[in-house]
Structure 1
């Protein structure tokens, strides 16, 4: 995979259109959308239900291809790759965190973190494993199984798993959805710290204004288009903007 570098951009979508369905039943999920996610930034994506948030995330991460337009991730043009190439790029340069923790209950925290690389037949350096757990503040929970961890700690194990191979971009899809308020706040502090301390690029889809307020900026979607952005967001400001969008939907 050749990379010709994007001046400071970890992910770029250029004039991306994506439709679901066919014929008269087709729905335009993304409508000629152009957006950049700078390296070392933390971006939250918000919008009413059906606005295209999840489709944007899937196209940006190479999980799906647009109908038209280009997607560039870490300097690589995704739309020019076959499925095997996209799978390799996701494995090597992308991290995923979802609402579901997806931890195996019989494995310890460190075994869960190492599992994807082991399944890929790759050796897991001990120092990298310790470093990933330390990055999320769980180095002292390495030998605990999921049942011995709180929900927030389990989600942080999932983040450590996503960080183990040092991804160019960490994509998070509603990562606080299954957490209580205290656990969600701590987990969001972990994501914030990854950007501030380690320069990790984070792109997060969320419906929660409090979660979005941890980001450097919030992008607002409606009908597959970006209809606004907020730098240095506050929970109150985000909530007010979302209320306007939902009333207009």
Structure 2
């Protein structure tokens, strides 16, 4: 099966001259529909740049990024804006909710910014899907951190995106609350076929994914199926101490 999201030979450098840094080094990586992938690696390994290039927020210096048949690297800024609006969802460590709006209004915001009137019950149904059916009239300050992140997830999913990108989505939450958010994301994949790509430093979060990709120096150092938190932690310890977990590769075959 062809990957839904496909990066081929992607190279991205930041800066110029002697101070330039290669964030992604001819990276080839694919993500299948309906899967949950965690991306890990030491600081500076290219995780955030991978997410930005895959989501069309940053253009690579070389290579191609294709999302569901659309090659992002050939699109204009206007076309990229429309694609991100309609087919890509984002969840960040900071919830980025507008404090003056209720939960319902925050969730409806992407639709209204796109000039679309939410269908009757659409926003309430999405809040119900993330367990906040009774919190629609509450503003962010009246919600816990976990509830605010659930609102952010509902907002990201209300447009029914092809891919949901999550950048440290549990980083600002305590372990119990973070576990609830991970349960929700896992459920979105298992029950609704959502495709999720999540950058995380947390082995417990990564262990909830179907697949864990480890980056080092902008290249794939390891690519495995579901693992226990301890196995993830051991692999990260090896990477951070300079030990090889396997041959680094610029081309990776998707696991079956």
TM over 0.5: yes
Structure 1 residues not aligned, in runs of 5+: 1-6
Aligned to 1:202: 196
User: Equivalent residue for 1:226?
Assistant: 220
CA contact (8 A) 2:85 2:114 kept: no
Q: For 1:51 and 1:131, how far apart are their aligned partners in 2?
A: 39
1:150 aligns with 2:144: yes
Aligned residue pair count: 243
Offset, 1:127:
2.7
Partner of 2:253: none
Q: Flag structure 2 segments of 5+ consecutive residues without an equivalent.
A: 244-256
Task: Give the distance between the partners of 1:182 and 1:25, measured in 2 at CA.
Answer: 42
**2:13–2:61: 8 Å Cα contact kept in structure 1?**
yes
Deviation, structure 1 residue 119: 2.4
Indicate conservation of the 8 Å contact 2:85/2:110, yes or no.
no
The answer (yes or no) to whether the contact 1:135–1:194 under 8 Å persists in 2 is: no
Rounded to whole Å, the distance in 2 between the matches of 1:152 and 1:10 is 30
How far is 1:148 from its partner? Answer: 1.8
Q: Deviations over 1:111-130 (max 9, x none)?
A: 11011221232211133212
**Aligned-pair Cα RMSD in Å:** 1.1
Structure 1 counterpart of 2:29: 35
Q: Offset at 1:139?
A: 1.4
Q: What is the TM-score with the length of structure 1 in the denominator? A: 0.95
Contact residue 20 and residue 28 of structure 1 kept, 8 A: yes
Return the TM-score normalized by structure 2. Answer: 0.93
Question: What is the alpha-carbon distance in structure 2 between the residues aligned to residue 127 and residue 226 of structure 1?
Answer: 43
Match of 1:13 in 2: 7
Structure 1 runs, 4 residues or longer, greater than 6 Å off = none
Indicate the residue corresponding to 2:75 in structure 1: 81
**Partner of 1:179 in structure 2?**
173
